[in-house]
Amino acid sequence: MTTLLKTADAPPRYIPNDPRPSLIGLTREALADALSRAGVPEKQRRMRAGQIWHWIYHRGVQSFGEMTNIAKDLRQRLEDAFVIGRPEIVTEQVSTDGTRKWLLRLSPDERGARHEVEMVYIPEEDRGTLCISSQVGCTLTCTFCHTGTQKLVRNLSSGEIVAQVMTARDRIRDWPADIEANPSPPLGGRYITNVVLMGMGEPLYNFDSVKDAMEIVSDGEGISLSKRRITLSTSGVVPEIPRAGEEIGTMLAISLHGTTDEIRDRLVPLNKKYPIKELLEACRNYPGLSNARRITFEYVMLKGVNDSAADAKRLVQLLKGIPAKVNLIPFNPWPGTQYECSDWDTIENFAEILNRAGYASPVRTPRGRDIMAACGQLKSESQKLRAKERLALEAGA
Ligand code: SAH
Ligand code: SF4
């Protein structure tokens, strides 16, 4: 069900060897500093940075030409010095359930390689969640995760993280002007109401870029998504958890998946370094927790591995004293995996034990399975994309 983009819809074409840096992803201060390259005098930089910030992050413009309150000659100088970088959209797929998945191609890294990441949008009745990536691939090797089998890894820049959100807003028509012009605007005034860092990669291994990116995405004069609506999911990089609370300040999700070190060592090998006890201690101390601000514990249901009633009871014991929600994720299979998803009855029993102990534990309905967009199925699709489709795309079909 691959929807090939029409050329007219596609963002500006990528210019090979374009030496111009992108303004996306710079903090406000860095943006003001960068303007010296376009000859903006020091005294004007903050003011100009504020204007440009508004055009880029509030209006969503893709060219300097549209910045009508900036004099033409300065617009030209900006154009000569910078780009407003968006990734190239390789494919956009729409699932039968409305989930959308994009394969995005990044600008070349310092070795000239152009890597790809995936991004998923999941519309629900009361919200729309955008799932973004923080790395190409992942250095960790959780045994049930498809991304963990991908060898190639690099960190995304803050610009590449922010540009994912901007690209999704372009495609879903979610910029304020689009919403104003929409005869049936979405509930709450926007399509993307939540962002989760649950795509490819371990966000706490790319701390600085994730931090800058979340600062930009949550900036009230721009994309303006509250940090309470952004969730960072980690496999348990314990030493970074306190810093994440203090410096990034988003909601936190922990990929727990096992209730004993023996099981978790097998599923999330990072557990050998940071075992369950230390992980939960870091959670207990996460700043700002309350019943209204809980940590989400993600728990993937693997048949015969971690899904017994005894596991459920141990989980209840482990979470005592932590304001927590549990998110049960039916395992999403991928080619070559050794695991199977638990039976539905088993999942219901597990959820029931948690419910009785007072933990709301919604079972996450798998979304977009038909387009391999569900949790843990992400892997750079390019490896699977057929040559024919690529040719069709390049021909602008
Ligand atoms: N690296 C981070 C964030 C990305 S993974 C982390 O591990 O938390 C996002 C979530 O998807 C994690 O909870 C992960 O454990 C889960 N996941 C990975 N593979 C899965 C699969 N095949 N089926 C269901 N969930 C999976
Ligand atoms: Fe990496 Fe998360 Fe997958 Fe583990 S589950 S391999 S940390 S992306």
Mean pLDDT computed over 294-298: 96
Over residues 233-251, the pLDDT tens digits come to: 999 999 999 999 999 999 9
Does 4 reside within a domain? no
Pair (73, 139) in one structural domain: no
Backbone φ and ψ for 352, nearest 5 degrees, come out as -65, -40
Distance 141 CA to ligand 2 centre (A): 6
Mean pLDDT computed over 202-224: 97
Pair (25, 102) in one structural domain: no
Distance 148 CA to ligand 1 centre (A): 9
Residues catalogued as catalytic? 118, 375
Q: Closest ligand 2 atom, CA of 202?
A: 7
Over residues 252-289, the pLDDT tens digits come to: 999 999 999 999 999 999 999 999 999 999 999 999 99
Over residues 326-383, the pLDDT tens digits come to: 999 999 998 999 999 999 999 999 999 999 999 877 777 666 666 666 666 655 544 4
Pair (63, 201) in one structural domain: no
Q: Which of 28, 48, 81 is the last residue of a domain?
A: 81
Does 211 reside within a domain? yes
Pair (113, 132) in one structural domain: yes
Pair (155, 301) in one structural domain: yes
10 Å CB burial of residue 201 (0-12, 13-18, 19+) is: buried
Q: Whose CA is nearest to atom 8 of ligand 2?
A: 201
How many domains does the chain divide into? 2
Contact yes or no for 146/168 (Cβ under 8 A): no
Q: Report the percentage of the chain scoring pLDDT > 90.
A: 77
Pair (31, 102) in one structural domain: no
10 Å CB burial of residue 358 (0-12, 13-18, 19+) is: exposed
Q: Which of 28, 56, 81 is the last residue of a domain?
A: 81
- Among all bound ligands, the one having the nearest atom to the CA of 332 is 1
Q: Which of 41, 63, 81 is the last residue of a domain?
A: 81
Q: Identify the pLDDT of residue 397.
A: 29
The parent domain of residue 265 ranges over 88-384
CA-closest candidate to residue 25, choices 47, 61, 70, 56:
56
CA-closest candidate to residue 367, choices 248, 151, 196, 187:
196
Among 140, 143, 146, 272, say which to mutate for ligand 2: greatest number of ligand atoms within 8 Å of CB. 140
Answer yes or no: is the C-beta of 329 below 6 A from any ligand 2 atom.
no
Pair (237, 380) in one structural domain: yes
Does 9 reside within a domain? no
Q: Identify the pLDDT of residue 109.
A: 83
pLDDT band at 196 (very low <50, low <70, confident <90, very high): very high
Q: Report the percentage of the chain scoring pLDDT > 70.
A: 88
Distance 313 CA to ligand 1 centre (A): 22
- Mean pLDDT score of the chain, rounded to an integer? 89
